[in-house]
Amino acid sequence: MNFFGEYFEQIGDKLRSTDVETLDRLSVIFRETHDRGRKIILVGNGGSASIASHVAVDLTKVARIRAVTFNDDNLLTCFANDYGYEHWVEKALEFYSDPGDVAVLISSSGRSPNIVNGAATARVRGLRVITLSGFDSDNPLRSLGEMNFWVDSRSYNVVEMTHHILLVAAVDKIVSDKGDVG
- What is the mean predicted confidence (pLDDT) over 3-22? 96
pLDDT of residue 163: 98
- What superfamily would CATH give domain 3-176? Glucose-6-phosphate isomerase like protein; domain 1 (3.40.50.10490)
Q: What predicted TM-score, i.e. pTM, was given to this entire model?
A: 0.95
What's the pLDDT at 179? 72
Mean pLDDT of 95-105: 97
Residue 181 has pLDDT above 70, yes or no: no
Separation of CA 29 from chain center: 13
pLDDT value of residue 133: 98
Residue 178 is predicted with a pLDDT of 84
Q: For position 182, what pLDDT does the model report?
A: 42
**In the chain, where the domains are located:** 3-176
pLDDT above 80: residue 1: no
Give tens-digit pLDDT for 162-179. 999 999 999 999 999 987
Share of the chain above pLDDT 90, in %: 97
